Each structure stands twice: as structure tokens, then as C-alpha cells.
Structure 1
Amino acid sequence: MDPTFDMDARNARPISKPKILVLSRLPPATTTAPAVAATVVKRWNSSATTTAAAGTTATTTTTTRGAYRSPTPPTGVPLSRILSNTFPLSYSESYSQWLKRTGLQEAEKAVLSCLPFYPEPDATRRARSLKVPIGESNHINEFEITRTTSEPISNELVVLHGYGAGLGFFYKTFDGISNEPGWRIHGLDLLGYGCSSRPKFELKSKSADPLVRTLEAEDFFIDALEAWRIERGIESFSLVAHSLGAYLGASYATKYPGRINKLMLVSPAGVTRSSYAVDSGETPEMPLPEMKAKAPLWFHYLWECNVSPFSLVRNTGPLGPRFVSGWSSRRFANLPSKEARALHMYAYTIFNAPGSGEYALNYLLAPGAYGRRPLATRAREIPCPTYWIYGDNDWMDINGGQEACNNIADRWPADLVSVSNSGHHIYLDNPQELNYHIKKFMRTNY
């Protein structure tokens, strides 16, 4: 991730009192529903009672907004526990991977080559990698997917990754959604991430106002996205964005109204309101989530000093792949071995690349992924329909998404979905169900 929209909608508005929410089970779209537990969807814009899917019992429950459940990001782990974690990659294997490491483009290609239509097309789809110039000798890395059939392209879909990631992590999404007639898919690396240019990130403004600094950090990414759009000659597009990418996607939508047709926010970061907000200014009408010290002091210190966690990988040479394996072995455990290895090396190569966009994090999010400009407050400014998706075991707080949807309700359609058997990385945990919702999102004319 609307409104009675201000053309200058970058100043957050006070949050309204919570409304009564209707919880209902929606019928499946024309797509075939995945063979998993049915998803519960909260729809704010529908005035009529929703009918139940065939073979199910229609249930409608009226609820008020529940108490906040603060996010539980992996920040509160004691340093001693982190240092004692088991890294499954042996020292010799780590050294071997370090010696054989490739460039970013090669690592990305190894992941994308798991797709049946890349590098060679299949019967219905073809794809290509592009370096799209955006000025000042910078470029945006793009993975474009089109259908080989003859129907005209009438819709554009952009997919954006989150913090520390790259477009390759969405390879299962690309495979699952790219056969929609009339759609062209654009997987992008944010400026400063993945295979996009990695210019030095530094604030040009000397202002001490934290809001000014936060807006400048947002502009680093969203102005690059706008430059990409102009260079590609795309009038408008729909956007699916994950985590930090969703936070930035909402900022792009408000700064450049009319360019995003509809916005899907997948496990978005920076939604929940907190005392970290730089533009709150007033006492909110609803209680803030408890800001208990879930993160140890050393974590807060490193975050506020803008120390990148990826510097550990960059500065340890042959031990870098071993450190990454502590995360990748768990994250990719359920994937086929070829795909898991390709993603591990892709992640290592991204983490090991020169730092750039990661150094904007402190200006955008506070420890615990609380937004400096929380989306729950400013979601009302988003000038398009939104679709909010969380995993049922997500450490991003779905209550923040509920508040955001409640705040949008009288302006634009807003759906809230919980995807089963998944955490923050829904596109890997349950790609089948996520793809079902993305295709429904693509097919819905709001």
C-alpha cells in the first residue's frame, strides 16, 4: 500500500475513531482456489452481505477492533544466543562458496532459471532482464514477463521486494501469475538493492526536522521508481509490493497520484502506529501499541547509528556464506535443493554487495519495523483501492492493517487477507495461496 484526496497528501492526518467491522467469507473469484484452507477476508467497502462459496456455510461476525498485538520481529534475541546459533554450512563449504562467488546478475539468473520460461520461452510466456536508465548514470534492474500470444497488453503489474531482498525472491510468484491474458509483469529491484545501481545513500538536506529527513529517504526510492515508469513509457500500473517495498509503494502512490491503479501490500512494514512516528504531533485517539523493550539496548543502538546488518557478511570474507546459511537454511528448507542452493547464493551475493539503499532504513523505520510515517495513519491518503495481505504467523501486525483499512473505508475499497501456513515471506511459505489472491487482485475491477 483512497480518499477525499489532497493533491499534497504527504502530511498525515489524525486517525478517526474505529468503526464496526464486518468479517465475512468472500466467494472465490474466477480463478481456481488453491487446495488449502479457505482464506478469511475483511472487506470494508462492501455494503451488501457477501454470499458464501459453494459448499461452505456463510458466517458473518460483527467485531470491534481488537487490542493491538505489537509486532514480534526477530530483534529481541540476546546477543549471546545469536553468536551461539548453529550455521549449517561448514567452514570448508563456506570457503569454497566464497571462492566461487559470482556477480549479482549471474546469481539472479541462477534463481530465475528455475522458471519454465526463462531464459528460453515456454509455450505461452517469455521473459527478459533489462537495465532501465533513470538518470545520473543509475539504472533500475527489471525482469519483464510477457505472454507469447497475440492479445494486446492492456495492463501492467509491477512487483517490488522488501528490505535486503531482490526481485528473484518472487520467482514462484512470477510463475504463478504470468499467464493472465492482457497483463505484462515487471519485477523490479529498488534503487540501491539487488542488481539495480547502488549509489551512495546520503541525505542532502541539512534540516534537523526528522520528517524532512524521512521524506527525503523515501524520495530516494520512489523518485527512482517514477523515473523508471517514465523511461518505460507506462502511463499507470498496478503494484504488488512486499514489506519495505509496500511501505514505499504507498508513499509513491500518494506522491504520484494517478500512476498506481490499485495497490497490494504484502506483509507491509511500517504500518502500526508508535511513539517513533516523526509526524504524529497529536495524542492519538486510539491507544498506541505497548512499546516494551522487546529489542535489547545494543540492537537499538546499532539501528539508530544506522549500522547495516549486512556489514557482517561483507567484512568476514570466506565466513560470509556460513553466516548467511544460518538464515537461508531455515528460510529455504522446504524448497527443492537446486532452488534452495540458488536462493542461498543469491541472498549471499546481495548481502555481500556494496551497501546503498539499506542505509536509508533508519530514516524510514524504527526498531521493530515501526514506520517513521505509519501507514495506519496515512493510509487514508492512498488514492487507489488497496489489498492488504498478512501471513497467519506473520510478525508484521495485522491489527495495523485492520486500522489502515478502517481508516480508508469511506474513500476507497480496501480488503484485508490472512494467508494460511505462512509468515512474513508469504511468497515462499505459501505461494499457491498468495498467487490466488494476486490473480484475483489483477482480475478485479474496483
Structure 2
Amino acid sequence: MPKLNPDGTQFITLSSGYHLWTQTQGKGDIHLMTLHGGPGGTNEVFENFAERLAPYGVRVTRYDQLGSFYSDQPDFSDPANRQQFLNIDYYLSEVEQVRQQLGIDHFYLLGQSWGGVLAIEYALKYPEHLNGVILSSMIDNLDEYIVNINRIRETMFSKEDVAYMQQIEQQHAFDDAKYQALVSELGEHYLHHAKDPQPRHLISTLATPVYNYFQGDNEFVMVGALKDWDRRADIHRIAVPTYLTFGGHETMPLAAAERMAKTIPDATLHVTPNAGHGQMLDNPTDYFSHLGDWLVNTDTKTAFHSK
């Protein structure tokens, strides 16, 4: 296998034979790897991370997970592929394969939303490779999220609209136009609080089979394989510095974030004002300044204690 250049854009080959799109940009002693959300989203939410974090001396590695837009997309209608790849253990092993193939060690791992699930799992299994972990809009269980997202629905919509949505969900008639409009309204207010901040394509880039398998049809319908994920009993075992960042107008419950900040031994909690679930897009000035400061301060302490 040819030796990979540690910088730039390249495809790596996994042990399965499939390929992942990766890109490393920036200069500095702090190395940050990012894990995108979804499940089945893309790395594009991190496109400007290297530029935004350049003043702090941060190199950024991002990649599309298996099944996502820029990487290989197995046929998930094949039960063998679903069994092999559509589980947390696989995507956790994928993070470690990316780290090894790109020769990254003693790095910071940032997980956005679903990526935060993987970041928690990685911090629990591979702490020796981490200088720190960043959980961006992700808590340590899905039960509290499900309660919160339904509370949001009840406050946003009339009783009639909530009843209508629940009826549609029971019927699995998710293509219903009125239902789709209500789901989109949630996105406009809580997923993306700023106006039109999202990267745009002429086609959908969501890896729908991956999203549907883990999540369900949309943010309200948490019926997929991820619904029972819960690390509340283990979160205290995260032994590396941890930065928790959430939007002030967020789909994740801030009460859970506050509990995590008290439970994880070395945790810092920041709430990004005027931002929803996509904090880095809604309020980038606040998001990157606080993230950059935390990375520099944490790395300085890490370097001091290692001497």
C-alpha cells in the first residue's frame, strides 16, 4: 500500500476494502479530527474549521463515514451489509482505522450530534490516543433526547398539529405534505437557528439508508437502532479533558449537558447563544472562539504535565 501524504485530500482503504474520503488542512501542533452527524450526514459542516481555527494553531482532519456522500456506499439493502456495518461497533472501529492510516496520535476528537456518540465511545475505549474530546450537540443517552424533542413539538405546534403528526407517524405516511412542512419548521427553529446557513446541493446528500436504520424517518421518529443507546452509567469514566458545547436553542436537553459537566471528571460546558443544533453555522464567531481557546488552554496544560 502506498504511503499516504498526511495533508490534503485522499481516499483511504479500510480493512473491508471500502474507501473513505478524507482531508487534512491547517498547520500547528494541535491536531483535531472531526466526526459528522446524521447518521449519514457529511463532513461539509466542517469545511471551514481549518480556516477558523488557524489562529489557534490547529490542523483539522475530516472525513465522510462509510455510506456517506463522498465515501463508498455499500448496498444496504443487502442484509449482510446491514449486519456488518450498521452498528456502533463498526463506526467506532472506523474511527480507529482512519486514525491509524493517517498516522494521527495524541489528538483531539470532535463529534457533532451522531458523531458525538462515536466520540464518547472512542474516549471510553481508546483514551491513550486522545488529548481531549469535544462533544458538540450530543448528550450521553437518547432517552432524554426523545423526551426533549417531543416537548419541543408540544410547545411549537398546536394540539391539533401534534395529533396530526402522531397519526401520520402511526400510519408511516411520512411523505404527507403537511407533515413534511411541520418537520421542516422544527429544522428551521432548532436544528438550524440562523437563516439559510447550510451548505447547498442540487440533490440530497443524506445517506438515507444509514439515517433510517439508526434514527428513523426524521428527528421526531426515534425508532431506529440508536434509540436504546445509553452511556449515563459510564460517562464518569471519560478520563481525558472534555469540552461540551451546545446551542442555546437546541434539540438536545441542556439539563442533560449540565449533568454531564458535573459527572465527567475534567469537563467544560459552553452554551453557544443564538444557535441551534448546528452551532458552528448559526453563531460561528462564538463557537470557534470558545472552541479555539479551550483547545489552546487544554493543550498547554497537557504539554506542561507531560514534561
Shift of 1:404: 1.8
| Rg comparison, structure with higher value | 1
Equivalent of residue 269 in structure 2, options 404, 407, 416: 416
Equivalent of residue 245 in structure 1, options 115, 124, 131: 115
State whether structure 2 residue 30 is matched by structure 1 residue 155.
yes
Deviation readout 1:178-219 (Å, 9 max, x if unpaired): 3433x321022222223122224577699xxxxxx9x97101
Query: Which residue identity is paired with 2:106?
Result: S
Number of residue equivalences: 267
Distance (Å, rounded) in 2 between the aligned partners of 1:290 and 1:190: 26
Distance (Å, rounded) in 1 between the aligned partners of 2:267 and 2:124: 16
Equivalent of residue 18 in structure 2, options 138, 153, 157: 138
Task: Please give the root-mean-square deviation of Cα atoms over the aligned residues, in Å.
Answer: 4.0
Shift of 1:166: 1.3
Deviation readout 1:119-159 (Å, 9 max, x if unpaired): xxxxxxxx732212122221222121023xxxxx5332111
Distance (Å, rounded) in 2 between the aligned partners of 1:344 and 1:394: 22
Query: Which residue identity is paired with 1:373?
Result: W
Name whichever structure is richer in helix by fraction. 2
Q: Give TM-score scaled by structure 1 length.
A: 0.51
- Closer/same/farther in 2, CA of residues 300 and 407 from structure 1, 3 Å limit: farther
Deviation readout 1:50-76 (Å, 9 max, x if unpaired): xxxxxxxxxxxxxxxxxxxxxxxxxxx
- Closer/same/farther in 2, CA of residues 275 and 132 from structure 1, 3 Å limit: closer
User: Which residue does 1:259 correspond to in 2?
Assistant: 129
Distance (Å, rounded) in 1 between the aligned partners of 2:54 and 2:145: 41
Distance (Å, rounded) in 1 between the aligned partners of 2:9 and 2:221: 35
User: Which residue does 1:361 correspond to in 2?
Assistant: 214
State whether structure 2 residue 53 is matched by structure 1 residue 173.
no
State whether structure 2 residue 259 is matched by structure 1 residue 384.
no
Distance (Å, rounded) in 2 between the aligned partners of 1:424 and 1:328: 9
- Closer/same/farther in 2, CA of residues 405 and 128 from structure 1, 3 Å limit: same
Tell me, yes or no, if the aligned pair for 2:9 and 2:24 is still in contact at 8 Å. yes
Tell me, yes or no, if the aligned pair for 1:144 and 1:184 is still in contact at 8 Å. yes
Query: Which residue identity is paired with 1:399?
Result: A
- Closer/same/farther in 2, CA of residues 216 and 366 from structure 1, 3 Å limit: farther
Alignment of 1:2-151 (within 5 A): 128-147=8-27
User: Which residue does 1:401 correspond to in 2?
Assistant: 257
- Closer/same/farther in 2, CA of residues 366 and 386 from structure 1, 3 Å limit: farther
Distance (Å, rounded) in 1 between the aligned partners of 2:86 and 2:188: 36
State whether structure 2 residue 205 is matched by structure 1 residue 350.
yes
- Closer/same/farther in 2, CA of residues 326 and 161 from structure 1, 3 Å limit: same
Q: Give TM-score scaled by structure 2 length.
A: 0.71
Unaligned runs of 5+ in 1: 1-126, 148-152, 207-212, 277-287, 313-323
Deviation readout 1:68-96 (Å, 9 max, x if unpaired): xxxxxxxxxxxxxxxxxxxxxxxxxxxxx
Tell me, yes or no, if the aligned pair for 1:272 and 1:376 is still in contact at 8 Å. no
Deviation readout 1:395-416 (Å, 9 max, x if unpaired): 21011111222222xxx21111
The alignment partner of 2:31 has SS state of: strand
- Closer/same/farther in 2, CA of residues 329 and 383 from structure 1, 3 Å limit: closer
